[in-house]
Structure 1
Amino acid sequence: MTGPRAGDRDRSPETATRRRVLAVAGTAGLTGVLGSNAGAIETRDGDARVAQADAGGDAPVAERPLFDAHTHLIPHETLGREPLSADGLLSWMDEHGIDRAVVHALDSPESYPVQAPSWWVLEQVAAASDRLIPFCSVDPRTVVYGEETVSNLLEGYIERGARGFGELKPGLPIDDRRLETIYERCAEYDLPVLCHLDNKALLDEVGLPGFEDALASYPGVDFIAHAHFWWAHISADVTVADRGRYPDGSVEPGGRVPELLGAYDNVYGDLSAGSGWNALTRDPAYGQTFLETHYERLVWGTDYLAPGQMVPQTTMFERFDLDIEAWTAIRARNLERILRDGQPG
């Protein structure tokens, strides 16, 4: 990518103060959302769950905090799926022992047939801010109105509680110049970015050269990678056709996903959806080793967006055998660390 790098951006007192003020505005009640390591989080039905996010303690895996990195609210029926409200999402979370969830906006036309704009998501989650953590998004093509327009939109969303940028899912090549404006603003406002790479959005080449360039060019941004083309690269034998499908068969060692997770400290893998589940289960022995090796760079998620949706990720803790340290990291600690980054102490 061309243009200014996030790591080289001006860090003048004025810029830092602006970011700090926005961070404070966007994290009112943050202690109540994330809790302390020794505290307890109350679920909607009043059951206390253990909230110790770091390793240690005596709580079994099933009682450790569970933080879903990827959910949605959908305002209207589409694709034969019923809409999903905040109350519906919370009820489903209660059924599956999920304490908190990030709710992603869908602002690009390629993201879903029925969009869920950022302003609407922020309205819907406001009454449950202790459990539903909103992300916001801006379609990069909004830059047609000027980069300041993007800044103004993001500042307004942050002031209303947005904690990250997502889901980034525009129908653009991943090295499109307009995406650089998004990454630059996310670096400025300390927003992690959940990005969707497939055959419709954030188009990249085999080997993910464009995505790696973004990781290297914007080291101040935490990227949470998701979807078909990202997870296809858990294996070394990737083709262009894998942009939009779930590859099967044994994983060939040397894939770009483990390589990038090992090389960059600002990238995480989102285990949600069919793509994340397929990556772990197409070769179960490799999936076990992958989890053991990269647990500090993975976040648990579902991509839940419709009532009755099947979510195999809820069986992950029985299907794979990890120690308590690894499960604690995947279930909540890694995502909590991402959301704490850049926040005032």
Structure 2
Amino acid sequence: MFPDASGVRAQGEPIIDIHQHVGYSGRPDEVLLAHQRAMGVTMTIVLPAGRPAARPSTHDGVSNGLQAQALGNDACRDFAKAHPGEFRFGANDVPDLDGAAQEIERQLARGAIVIAEQKFGIACDAPEMQSIYRLAETHRVPVLMHWQFGMYNHGFERFHRMLEQFPRVTFIGHAQTWWANIDAGHADQTVLYPKGPVTPGGLTDRYLRDYPNMYGDLSAGSGLNALTRDEAFTRGFLERHQDKLLYGSDCNDHVGSGEKCQGAQTIAALRRLAASKALERKLLYDNAKRVFGI
């Protein structure tokens, strides 16, 4: 095991990070490797971008590289294969691009364990997206979706129809609109990082409660903001959805610790807010192990 400042590895407590990227904001591969080890992460899933394209679904290329310089399928697969004990990889492509299904299936056949992250300007119930869900159903892998009002995966309020239409698909929600809507009082969807007290019963809370196939990715600034904006609410939220929430970092930091590393801050927040050690382990390891079969 590799040593790290938090002593996580020395304690023998594994952590699965379901959301990282190769090439994130230009970060070198060796820095990503060191970053994950410094956080105490023992298994990481790297999520690729789709093929570069200039079309409305990629905002004429703005969304290429997941709008973060993230590298594509082959780079993620090669990195994971170079570090087989610590990394796994996903499959991805722009859903309305010719050959998207074939490209995703190519990666699934090579060992990809999730279709992710789907971050494109397409309605969540469009025919192209339903083709993605059918792939996930056929290959029995989850789909991780980046929800961002006005930008990615349009129609969050309609997504219940897809959850009902594809009950055997595991959907994982992520990003600003997903996390803003834990709050039943969140009326202005253009506000992506709301602050202050949370009113229980938001749409995200209900999706997690009402649909066995809906899960939540705790990563990124949006996830950390949701955890810390109203910690009294968060404690109940984590308890209520303890079998549905998955730790991810989605962090482009180079160090793996300190105030600039949201991945490390999220781990610390979960340890502070989880009501028990058993709950903490579910969030940091057990749920991801079960959902991804790793």
Task: Identify the TM-score tier after normalising by the shorter chain.
Answer: 0.7 to 0.9
Question: What is the aligned counterpart of 2:153 among 202, 206, 225?
Answer: 202
**In the alignment, structure 1 residue 299 sits paired with structure 2 residue 246:** yes
Q: Which residue of 2 aligns with 1:282?
A: 229
Q: Which residue of 2 aligns with 1:222?
A: 170
Which deviates more from structure 2 when the two are superposed, residues 279-288 or residues 121-130? 121-130
Structure 1 distance, partners of 2:267, 2:9, is: 17
Superposed CA offset, 1:160-209 (max 9, x none):
221111010011122222111111111111121110000311022xxx33
Q: Which residue of 2 aligns with 1:118?
A: 73
User: Which is greater in Rg?
Assistant: 1
Q: Which residue of 1 aligns with 2:215?
A: 268
TM-score, with structure 1 as normaliser: 0.73
Seq. identity, % = 27
Structure 2 distance, partners of 1:240, 1:174, is: 20
How does 1:292-331 map onto structure 2 within 5 Å? 292-308=239-255, 309-311=260-262, 312-331=265-284
Q: Secondary structure in 1 aligned to 2:36?
A: helix
Which amino acid is the alignment partner of residue 292 of structure 1?
E
Number of equivalenced pairs = 273
Offset of 1:64 from its aligned partner? 2.1
Any conservation in 2 of the 1:74–1:306 contact (CA below 8 Å)? no
Offset of 1:239 from its aligned partner? 2.6
Superposed CA offset, 1:39-73 (max 9, x none):
xxx4599x9958xxxxxxxxxxx642111111111
Structure 2 distance, partners of 1:163, 1:67, is: 14
Cα 1:318/1:115, change in 2 over 3 Å: closer
**In the alignment, structure 1 residue 70 sits paired with structure 2 residue 13:** no
Structure 1 distance, partners of 2:251, 2:153, is: 21
TM-score, with structure 2 as normaliser: 0.85
Q: What are the ranges of 5 or more consecutive residues in structure 1 without an aligned counterpart?
A: 1-41, 51-61, 76-80
Which amino acid is the alignment partner of residue 207 of structure 2?
L
Any conservation in 2 of the 1:194–1:225 contact (CA below 8 Å)? yes
Structure 2 distance, partners of 1:216, 1:333, is: 26
Structure 2 distance, partners of 1:328, 1:307, is: 25
Higher relative contact order (Cα pairs below 8 Å, separated by 6+ residues) = 1
Across the aligned residues of Structure 1 and Structure 2, the Cα RMSD in angstroms comes to 2.3
Q: Which residue of 2 aligns with 1:333?
A: 286
Superposed CA offset, 1:283-339 (max 9, x none):
110011111111111001110234255212131244314212211111111111111
Structure 1 distance, partners of 2:27, 2:235, is: 33
Superposed CA offset, 1:213-246 (max 9, x none):
121111111111000111111010123434x520
Structure 1 distance, partners of 2:215, 2:171, is: 6
Any conservation in 2 of the 1:234–1:255 contact (CA below 8 Å)? yes
Structure 2 distance, partners of 1:296, 1:125, is: 27
Q: Secondary structure in 1 aligned to 2:67?
A: coil
Any conservation in 2 of the 1:273–1:302 contact (CA below 8 Å)? yes
Q: Which residue of 2 aligns with 1:177?
A: 127
Q: What are the ranges of 5 or more consecutive residues in structure 2 without an aligned counterpart?
A: 51-57
**In the alignment, structure 1 residue 191 sits paired with structure 2 residue 134:** no
Structure 1 distance, partners of 2:159, 2:36, is: 32
Q: Which residue of 2 aligns with 1:34?
A: none
Any conservation in 2 of the 1:133–1:163 contact (CA below 8 Å)? yes
Structure 2 distance, partners of 1:339, 1:318, is: 22
